[in-house]
Chain A
Amino acid sequence: MSAVHPVLRARRRKEALRNLAFLSPWIIGFAVFFVYPLLSTVYFSFMHYNGFNPPTWTGGRNWSYVFTQYPLFWPALRNTLWLVVVTVTLRVVFGLGIGLLITKIRTGAGLFRTAFYLPYLAPPVAATMAFVFLLNPGTGPVNHLLGGIGLPTPGWFTDPHWSKPALTTLALWGIGDLMVIFMAALLDVPKEQYEAAELDGAGRWARFRYVTLPNISPIVMFAVVTGVIQTMQYYTQPLVAGKVASGVIGNSGQQFEPGYPDKSTLTLPQLVYNLGFQRFDYGSACVVALVLFVLAMVFTALLMRRRSGFLTAED
Chain B
Amino acid sequence: MTHMTDTAPAPGAASRRTAHTPDPRAARAARRRRTLHWIAVHALGIAAAAFFVLPFVFVVLTALMTDNQALTRSLWPHPFAWSNFRTVWDTPGFLTWWRNTLVYSVAGTVLTVVSSLPVAYALARFRFRGRNLVMVLVISTMMLPPQVVIIPMYLFWTKQLHMDGTLWPLIIPMAFGDAFTIFLLRQFLLTIPKEYTEAAKVDGCGELRTLLTVIVPMIRPAIAAVALFQFFACWNDYFGPQIYASSNPAAWTLSYGLESFKGAHHTNWNLTMAATVLVMAPVIVVFFFAQKAFIEGVTLTGVKG
A contact residues vs B (CB 8 Å cutoff): 15-16, 18-19, 21-23, 25-26, 28-30, 32-34, 36-38, 40-41, 44, 51, 98, 101-107, 109, 112, 114-119, 121-126, 129-131, 133-134, 136, 139, 141, 144, 173, 176-177, 180-181, 183-185, 187-188, 218-219, 222-223, 226, 229, 232-233, 235-236, 240, 243-244, 247, 249-251, 253, 268-269, 272-273, 276-277, 282, 285-286, 289-290, 292-293, 296-297, 299-300, 303-304, 309-312, 314
Contacts and interface: CB of A to CB of B under 8 A. Distances in A.
Which 8 pairs of residues, A with B, have the shortest CB-CB distance?
A: A29-B176, A40-B152, A181-B302, A37-B149, A22-B122, A250-B260, A37-B152, A25-B115
A123 B127 CA distance: 39
B230 interface: no
Contacts of A277: 154, 243
B139 A300 contact: yes
A176 B42 CA distance: 18
A103 B7 contact: yes
B218 interface: no
B119 A23 contact: yes
Contacts of B266: 247
Contacts of B167: none
Give chain B's interface secondary structure class: helix
Given A269-B145, A293-B148, A250 B53 contact: no
A289 B295 contact: no
B256 A251 contact: yes
Contacts of A36: 152
B215 interface: no
B190 A314 contact: yes
A100 to B, nearest CB: 10
Give chain A's interface secondary structure class: helix
Contacts of B255: 123-126
A71 B3 CA distance: 51
A119 B52 contact: yes
Interface of B: 1-3, 6-8, 38, 41-42, 44-45, 48-49, 51-53, 55-56, 58-59, 62, 70-73, 75, 115-116, 118-119, 121-124, 126, 128, 134-141, 143-156, 159, 173, 175-177, 182, 187, 190, 207, 232, 235-236, 238-239, 242-243, 246, 252, 254-264, 266-267, 269, 272-273, 276, 279-280, 283-284, 287, 291, 294-295, 298-299, 301-305
A227 to B, nearest CB: 11
A51 B303 contact: no
Contacts of A180: 295, 298-299
Nearest to A253: B246
